[in-house]
Amino acid sequence: MTKTTTRTAALSLLLLVATACSPAPGTPSPAYPSNIPTSAASTGPKEPQVTNPLDATKFEQNPCSALTQAQAAQVFNAVRNRKITGNVAPICTWNDNNDNSLSLGFLPGQGLSASYENGTNAGGGYFEVAPMVSGYPATFSGATDDRKSGGCQIGVGVKNDEIFTFSAILDKTSPSYGDPCSLVTKAAEAAVATIKAGA
């Protein structure tokens, strides 16, 4: 599969957490940490509440403004970015000199509950509760588990009914290839700082 095809697939998966999945018969549920409360109506953990909501309205239609040029260069060695139309809202993709990519999209009206719901039916994908991102709840999730080959996606709850997602698609030229989830976490931390400053 070419890098272009892979990137196109990744961009379409970036907003996957916004869609509901129906359970497949016989699909095993992933293991969850025991310290996360579960609800009686669900087989998985209950999503945490956002206790200090952020107003991300001005970034929803202009996600490229969620990372300054300095932040994008520091976090990812980004040399360019571009905004494309997404299913729910625009997506911004930053690229480095080797065409590795880091993409960001906001999902107004979709909280972490969709990620947790879909996570119980991850099938061949993955779902993990991520460490808090600058005090905001987060998950790692994707339709396919490509974390060992340069891919990772994080969803961060900025309100109970809004998340943003960062998705990395890296090849072996990237220093973050072996740990793409650390890269998307750093990018998410930088975006939270920008949103806080701009709110």
Across the range 76-105, mean pLDDT stands at 95
Per residue in 160-194, pLDDT (tens digit) is 999 999 999 999 999 999 999 999 999 999 999 99
Residue 172, phi-psi category: left (phi > 0), alpha (psi -120 to 50), beta (remainder) = alpha
> Is the predicted pLDDT of residue 10 greater than 60, yes or no?
no
* pLDDT confidence tier of residue 133, bands split at 50, 70 and 90: very high
Angle, in degrees to the nearest 10, between helices 69-76 and 180-198: 160
Distance CA 57, CA 140 (A): 23
Q: Is pLDDT above 80 for 122? A: no
Asked whether the beta carbons of 112 and 47 are under 8 A apart, the reply is yes
8 A C-beta contact, residue 104 and residue 88: no
What are 18-58's pLDDT values in tens digits? 433 333 333 333 332 333 333 334 455 688 999 999 999 99
Q: Rounded to two decimals, what is the model's pTM? A: 0.79
CATH topology of domain 3-17+48-198: Protein Transport Mog1p; Chain A (3.40.1000)
Q: How far apart are CA 100 and CA 108, in angstroms?
A: 27
| Residue 60: C-alpha distances to residues 63, 90, 102, 113, 124 (Å) | 6, 7, 17, 19, 30
Domain spans of the chain, in order of start:
3-17+48-198
